[in-house]
Amino acid sequence: MVCRLNKSLYGLKQASRCWFAKFSKALLGVGFSQSKADYSLFYRHKGIDAATISIIKNLLHQRFHLKDLGDLKYFLGIEVSRSSKGLYLSQRKYALDILKDSGLIGERPTFFPMEQNLKLNNEDGELLHNPETYRRLVGRLIYLTITRPDIVHTVHILSQFMQSPRTTHKDAAYRLLHYLKGTPCQGILLSSSNNFQLRAYCDSNWASCPMTRRLTTGYFVLLGESPISWKTKKQDTVSRSSAEAEYRAMAMATCELQWLRYLLYDLGLSHTTPSLLYCDNQAALYIAANPVYHERTKHIEIDCHVVREKIQNGSLRTAYIPSKEQLAYGFTKSLGKDQFQRLKNKLGILDLHTPA
């Protein structure tokens, strides 16, 4: 028997797309505009008072059945706390649920997420009999990085062994859980200050992958004093020098900064001053500033030279920063206790609760 549907049903492949199309039409109908930088973001510059918000709620309620839950406190595992300093985002309950499901809620905590200079590979250790458990754990840890930039590099390493996880990978994942045991309440503060300067820190770890010798790049972006974007990524190519590796990291951070400028423009925050990009490699900075420097860059993909383009049009300014002050340093390397704690304090990670 074949059924022809007149409407989309939950669980179908196209259900989410159909729902988004319907909801988008409703928002556009009450005066919202759709962001070109992020199609899932809708904004309306006029009317931020409580009365206008109430009118919009009523209009949407006529189309959909809504339930007003009041001020935002908890959404999709993210806890939101308000204060005079700004919005504090954490995933305390989510982290504790991971510990509970893993049976580590009563274990002793560690002070940093991964053993320093640990190099995981595909050969050491025995294959796990039930790899689904490891995959599910790493998937949950990936979602935890939304408010935890301090574990991004560790989760990045663990996620590379999803296909054939081994006991060494599981031990490293459990080491991260021991770290979360001591820091379940930590999160980030989105400051209420009027400082909207965009600045980014980028770093790379040349030939860091022991299996492919590909580099690892990372960046950390601040809007004023608020951390808003961070990422660790293993690149698809092998770089010939540390300068080239750092230059690729600069290109990745530059693209993120440009996208954030577009996004903030849609929200009514236009940047007339250049964004700041900090790098701890003088040679990479020279490559970015000097478009005729050819011998060591002639093989680099053209899209990496977006750094030069943004410098020339005035939307980006680069600056040197010592490695000790490089906030993205921990996004490409596993650090020891003292170095990790010193870096974490500079990332703006806070703890508003008593650790469990």
- Residue 156 resides in a domain: yes
Which residues, including other chains, have CB under 8 Å from residue 179's CB and lie 6 or more apart?
109, 110, 111, 112, 113, 151
When divided into structural domains, the chain yields a total of 2
Instruction: Give the pLDDT confidence score for residue 170 in this predicted structure.
Output: 93
Among 43-52, 251-260, 279-288, 313-322, the least confident range: 43-52
- Residue 129 resides in a domain: yes
Let me know whether 201 and 141 are in one domain.
no
Let me know whether 201 and 292 are in one domain.
yes
pLDDT at 356 over 50: no
Distance set, CA 46 to CA 30, 52, 55, 70 (Å):
12, 9, 13, 22
Lookup: tokens for 221: 């972006």
Q: Are 201 and 328 in contact (CB under 8 A)?
A: yes
Let me know whether 317 and 195 are in one domain.
yes
- Residue 50 resides in a domain: no
**Section 342-351 average pLDDT:** 87
Question: How many angstroms separate the CA atoms of 169 and 166, rounded?
Answer: 5
Tell me the pLDDT tens digit for each residue of 9-62: 888 888 889 889 999 999 998 888 999 999 999 988 876 678 888 888 888 888
pLDDT at 354 over 60: no
Question: How many angstroms separate the CA atoms of 154 and 143, rounded?
Answer: 13
**Section 179-194 average pLDDT:** 90
- Residue 259 resides in a domain: yes
Q: Determine the Cα angle at 231 with ends 286 and 101, to 5°.
A: 160
pLDDT at 246 over 70: yes
Question: How many angstroms separate the CA atoms of 259 and 5, rounded?
Answer: 39
Mapped onto helix, strand or coil, the DSSP state of residue 154 is helix
Task: Kindly tell me the number of DSSP H helices and DSSP E strands found in the chain.
Answer: 10, 12
Q: Are 221 and 253 in contact (CB under 8 A)?
A: yes
Let me know whether 224 and 153 are in one domain.
no
Single out the residue of 156, 217, 149 nearest to residue 183, CA to CA.
149
Q: Are 112 and 191 in contact (CB under 8 A)?
A: no
Q: What's the CA dihedral at 157, 159, 163, 169 to 10 degrees?
A: 50
The percentage of the chain sitting over the pLDDT mark of 70, rounded to a whole number, equals 92
Domain boundary (186, 208, 234) is at: 186
pLDDT at 104 over 70: yes
Let me know whether 206 and 132 are in one domain.
no
- Residue 220 resides in a domain: yes
Instruction: Give the pLDDT confidence score for residue 262 in this predicted structure.
Output: 93
Q: Which domain holds residue 263?
A: 191-321
**Section 217-228 average pLDDT:** 92
Instruction: Give the pLDDT confidence score for residue 355 in this predicted structure.
Output: 45
Using only C-alpha atoms, what is the Rg of the chain? 23
Mapped onto helix, strand or coil, the DSSP state of residue 267 is coil
Let me know whether 128 and 232 are in one domain.
no
Domain boundary (186, 205, 231) is at: 186
Q: Fill in the amino acid letter for 275.
A: S
Among 41-50, 194-203, 212-221, 266-275, the least confident range: 41-50
Q: Determine the Cα angle at 134 with ends 237 and 102, to 5°.
A: 140
Instruction: Give the pLDDT confidence score for residue 168 in this predicted structure.
Output: 93
Instruction: Give the pLDDT confidence score for residue 205 in this predicted structure.
Output: 83
Let me know whether 255 and 157 are in one domain.
no
pLDDT at 336 over 80: yes
Question: How many angstroms separate the CA atoms of 170 and 32, rounded?
Answer: 47
Which residues, including other chains, have CB under 8 Å from residue 57's CB and lie 6 or more apart?
66, 68
- Residue 82 resides in a domain: no
Distance set, CA 262 to CA 32, 200, 231 (Å):
17, 16, 19
Tell me the pLDDT tens digit for each residue of 132-158: 999 999 999 999 999 999 999 999 999
Let me know whether 148 and 196 are in one domain.
no
Let me know whether 165 and 206 are in one domain.
no
The percentage of the chain sitting over the pLDDT mark of 90, rounded to a whole number, equals 37
Let me know whether 148 and 217 are in one domain.
no
Let me know whether 147 and 258 are in one domain.
no
pTM of full prediction above 0.85? yes
Exposure on the CB side of residue 195, measured as CA atoms within 13 A: 15
Domain boundary (130, 152, 186) is at: 186
- Residue 41 resides in a domain: no
Q: Fill in the DSSP letter of residue 127.
A: B
Question: Residue 233: which CATH number?
Answer: 3.30.420.10
- Residue 330 resides in a domain: no
**Per-residue DSSP letters for 1-47?**
-----SS--TTSTTHHHHHHHHHHHHHHHTT-EE-SS-TT-EE--S-
Q: Fill in the DSSP letter of residue 194.
A: S
Let me know whether 118 and 230 are in one domain.
no
Instruction: Give the pLDDT confidence score for residue 209 in this predicted structure.
Output: 62
Taking every pair of C-alpha atoms in the chain, what is the biggest distance, in angstroms?
69
Single out the residue of 227, 249, 237, 244 nearest to residue 333, CA to CA.
249
